[in-house]
Structure 1
Amino acid sequence: MLDIFAVQSYVMLLVTFVLLAVKIFAFVNSLLHSPQEYEAAGKLTKTAWCLILGIGLVVQVLPFGLLLNLAFTIAAFVYLADVRPALLGLRRR
């Protein structure tokens, strides 16, 4: 028989690993760009983004609370949706 709580646990575990992968990708990607690229794109500094994404990665790995984890997850998605395309657009020129 299918146990709904087991299914829910597996889904939450999958979501946790996917969000961890997103945060790792965003953090590593933020390290690959130069500080001048962040300035030219008109975004926060490289140091600020690396700190935000690095702390978010630590919060994801260590249980600091759901609300804090949600805030840093949103920050990672903001980086991927706004900052990363702006930085990549500079390299294409």
Structure 2
Amino acid sequence: MGGVAQILVLDYLNPFWWLAVAILGFKLFALVDAAVRPEDAYRAADKKTKGFWVAVLGVAFGLDLLFGAKFLTSFLTLGGLVAAIVYMVDVRPAIRELTGRGGDRDDRRNMGPYGPW
């Protein structure tokens, strides 16, 4: 059994089912996050384009829906998981820093025109 049927069969006692659901959720989060970020931020952060990341993450998520998230035996699942991890640990923080949605917010809270007060 594979594809969407693998997720729809609620096998709560199977740890591999939980891992498959977690992988799909992680890839979906990375895909949605890449889709909502502005195109200019990717270029400003000197990363690949928005279209590239949305396409790579979309294909990774789609292949898991089609064939199932079999992380132990499928190189497609592992490759897509690596792509999602790279996006989350490298691209997303750089874009969030440029768009003002990252970093330590306490440093900016008490800033005056000439520094902290």
- Relative to the length of structure 1, the TM-score reads 0.86
| Unaligned 5+ runs, structure 1 | 1-8
- Answer 1 or 2: which has greater helix percent: 1
Q: 1:22, 1:68 → 2: CA distance?
A: 15
Runs of 4+ in 1 over 6 A off after TM superposition: none
Matched, 1:85 2:89: no
Q: 1:59, 1:87 → 2: CA distance?
A: 26
1:15-72 CA-partner distances (Å, limit 9, x unpaired): 0000000000000000111111000001000000000000000011111771011101
Q: 1:10, 1:77 → 2: CA distance?
A: 24
Number of matched residues? 85
Cα RMSD after superposing both structures? 1.7
- Relative to the length of structure 2, the TM-score reads 0.69
| Unaligned 5+ runs, structure 2 | 1-12, 102-117
Q: Name the larger-Rg structure.
A: 2
**Range that drifts further, 48-57 or 60-69:** 60-69
Give the alignment partner of residue 61 of structure 1, picking from 51, 61, 65: 65
